[in-house]
Amino acid sequence: MSKWTWFVVLFSRVTLNLAVRVTYPFLPAIARGLGISFEQAGLLVAARHFVGLTGALWGLLAERKGYAWGMVIGLSALFLGSLTVSLSRTFSLALVGFLLIGLSKPVYDPNVQAFASGRIPYSKRAQALGILESSWAGSWLIGIPLSGLLIAHFGWHSPFVLISGAAFIAIICTKSLQEVNQSNPNAKEPSNHVVSNTGEAVAVGAKPYLILGVSLLMVFANENMVIVYGAWLEKQFNLQVQTLGLYSILVGLAELGGEFTVVFLVDRFGKRRAIFTGLILTGLSYLALPFCQSSLILAFLGLVAMFYLFEFTIVSIFPYVSELVPAERGKWFAFNFSALVVGRMAGALLGPWLWQRSADLYTQVIFTLLAQALAVILLLLSGNRAAEALN
């Protein structure tokens, strides 16, 4: 892909990810602006997540109409959704906007991942997708401080005005890309090759549905911890909101570190080996957290390690998924996206329920480690011996 194409897809992903992430620190401000309760505002976010389950359907459509088509549709949903939210003064209209924003990510993400994967050799694909996924951390580090300034000066709706404008620009730029009108160079790539040009075994020896199970379980395990870490820090160390906000910068840097570790390491280390190593190390970071309760510094270090290792692991799985069925990349990326959504929703439901009944990390960690162990088992069961030896 050309440098301009890289700029366009990264700009688009940062914009899309910001639309998702901006609600978390500023949800109380959004609730006040709409004149609704915080619980009702939470329903907006839940509805947005629920739409993510449609990812598999959009993946099937994109296999027929093309990945670039899916990218444009996703950005169009983002534009309409952000514009609707920015104009909302009632819960019902905001709900429509949040649903459209929720639709944009399961449509755009799998298609841009497939679009890039089809144009980059498997031997360099972790590097490419790692760069693409750095937009997740980038949206937080760049967009959240900017959104805070906009809200302070212009009101709660101002970030969505910015996002809708950026989405409109992204649509025009995406339509103008030269590659959009070119055939996919890997469209006729055989789906039974097992070795890349570096000698690394690729993922086609794996059982695809088991890999989806790995994605679901690892995200469930992480969400089960992440959903309560703020409550844990408040209870254990009596932290204020301002301190938690400063800590969020460390989270963004940790995520960016995980993504760039994928960029520089995983193609040489091996995709499958990286996933396995990441699952083990992330599991150890979960196990270590209860032993970090004696010191705030230790707690911060433990959480930063957890975010770093999880981001490394989840980004490592994307290039592996890209070669499960090369002729149907969009579909399997979409299935993987839906698996991630299910895992995240399940963790978001179980985590608070466990916390309310125990109010300590030990119960959380037990359930988290069980899910993480199952993910490791599924990964081991998913591949053939060649893949296990070389990848």
The domain that holds 355 is classified in CATH as 1.20.1250.20
Q: Give the phi and the psi of residue 187 in degrees, each rounded to 5.
A: -60, -30
Q: State the pLDDT at residue 34.
A: 92
Check whether residue 149 and residue 26 sit in a common domain: yes
Query: CA 387 to CA 87: how far, in whole Å?
Result: 52
Token readout for 97 is: 């906007």
DSSP state of 283: H
Return the ∠ at Cα 240 (arms to 351 and 299), rounded to 5°: 60
Quick count: other Cβ atoms within 10 Å of Cβ 358?
12
Q: Residue 245 — pLDDT band, cuts 50, 70, 90?
A: low
Check whether residue 210 and residue 153 sit in a common domain: no
Instruction: Record the pTM.
Output: 0.84
70 within domain boundaries: yes
More confident residue, 201 or 15: 15
45 within domain boundaries: yes
35 within domain boundaries: yes
195 within domain boundaries: no
Q: State the pLDDT at residue 189.
A: 45
Check whether residue 222 and residue 310 sit in a common domain: yes
Domain boundary among 179, 211, 227: 179
Quick count: other Cβ atoms within 10 Å of Cβ 39?
8
193 within domain boundaries: no
Q: State the pLDDT at residue 48.
A: 87
94 has pLDDT over 70: yes
Q: Residue 165 — pLDDT band, cuts 50, 70, 90?
A: very high
Query: CA 191 to CA 204: how far, in whole Å?
Result: 7
Quick count: other Cβ atoms within 10 Å of Cβ 65?
12
Q: What is the largest CA-CA distance in the chain?
A: 59
180 has pLDDT over 90: no
Q: State the pLDDT at residue 101.
A: 95
Token readout for 50 is: 């629920």
Answer for the pair 390, 201: CB distance below 8 angstroms, yes or no: yes
The number of distinct structural domains making up the chain is 2
Check whether residue 231 and residue 151 sit in a common domain: no
187 within domain boundaries: no
Check whether residue 301 and residue 356 sit in a common domain: yes
Tell the residue number behind the tokens 């570096």, with chain if given.
198
Q: Residue 204 — pLDDT band, cuts 50, 70, 90?
A: low
Q: State the pLDDT at residue 196.
A: 45
Check whether residue 237 and residue 160 sit in a common domain: no
Q: Residue 391 — pLDDT band, cuts 50, 70, 90?
A: low
Residue 64, domain extent: 3-179
105-128 tens-digit pLDDT: 999 999 999 999 989 999 999 999
Query: CA 369 to CA 266: how far, in whole Å?
Result: 24
Q: State the pLDDT at residue 359.
A: 72
Sequence-separated (6 or more) residues with CB below 8 Å from residue 93: 84, 87
